[in-house]
Amino acid sequence: MGPMTTEISETETERPLRADAARNRELILETAAEVFAELGLDAGYDEIARRAGIGVGTVYRRFPQRAELVQALFESRIQEIVDLAEEAARTTDAFEGLAWFLERALEHQVADRGLKEVMAQTISADDHGTIGRERIGPVIDVLLERAQAEGSIRPDIASTDLGMQLMLISSMTTTAQPDLWRRYLALFLDGLRAHPDLAPLPLTAPPDEAMHEFKCNVYGGR
C-alpha cells in the first residue's frame, strides 16, 4: 500500500487565515479607537500594537496609511449605529423603538466622544454627507416614519432633527455628571411626542448637507 496522503482544500486552509485576519482587524480598530481618543491622531502604530498585543508589522500591513485606519474607524462606528436602528425597527411599539435607538446610539457616542472629536478633524464634508444620505439617513427615516404613522411623534419632525439632537445631546456631559445627557434625552423625547394642542415648529428642518457644518460646530473640525 502506498504512502497515505492528506488533501487539504484551499477553502480549509484559507478559513483560519481569514478568521485571524478579521479578528486582528477588529482588535486593531478597537485599540486604535482607544489610543486615538486618548493621545490624538499622532499616536504611533507602535503604541496601538503594544496595547493590542500584536506586532506593529501587522498594523502596518492591515492599514498602510493612517487615513485608511481613521476611515475604517469611522465606518465601523457608522455600522454600529445602522445595526442599532435596524434592531429598533423590529420592535412592535414604534415610539419605544425610536426611544431605545436614541438611547443606545447616545451611549455609543458618549463613550466615543474623544474619538469623535479626533475624527471630526479628518472626515470631509463630502464623506460625512455621503454616509448620512446613504447609510444613516434611510434607517433613521424608517424609525421616524413608523412612529409618525402610529401617531406617537409629532408630524413636523425630520430625520435631520434627530441627527442634530444626537450630536448635541451626546456633548452634554460633565466630570461630576458623566450621564447628564440622559436628562436632556428625556426632555427631547418628551418634546417629540404628539399631542392635540401642538404648535408648529418654527423654520424648517435642515437638509442633510447641513449636518457636517453642525458637526464641526459641536466637535470642531473642517
Q: What does the angle CA 203 – CA 159 – CA 170 come to, to the nearest 5 degrees?
A: 95
Whole-number pLDDT of residue 118: 65
- 173 within 8 A of 166, measured Cβ to Cβ: no
Whole-number pLDDT of residue 8: 44
- 78 within 8 A of 136, measured Cβ to Cβ: yes
pTM, full prediction: 0.79
- What ranges do the domains of the chain cover? 9-64, 66-219
Whole-number pLDDT of residue 23: 87
Same fold, 9-64 and 66-219: no
Whole-number pLDDT of residue 5: 46
Rounded to whole angstroms, the Cα distance separating 140 from 208 reads 13
Where do we find the cell 445631546? 169
Q: What does the angle CA 66 – CA 70 – CA 74 come to, to the nearest 5 degrees?
A: 165
- Sign of the torsion angle spanned by Cα atoms 88, 153, 213, 180: negative
Whole-number pLDDT of residue 218: 73
Rounded to whole angstroms, the maximal C-alpha distance in the chain is: 91
What is the SS3 assignment for 153?
strand
Where do we find the cell 444613516? 136
State CA 106 to chain mean position distance.
Answer: 9
Rounded to whole angstroms, the Cα distance separating 73 from 117 reads 13
- 115 within 8 A of 35, measured Cβ to Cβ: no
What dotted CATH number matches 9-64? 1.10.10.60
- 173 within 8 A of 107, measured Cβ to Cβ: no
Rounded to whole angstroms, the Cα distance separating 198 from 205 reads 17
Q: Topology of 66-219 in CATH?
A: Tetracycline Repressor; domain 2 (1.10.357)
Along the chain (222 residues), what's the average pLDDT of each consecutive run of 10 residues?
A: 46 58 89 86 90 93 90 86 94 97 93 71 63 79 96 95 91 94 97 92 88 73 59
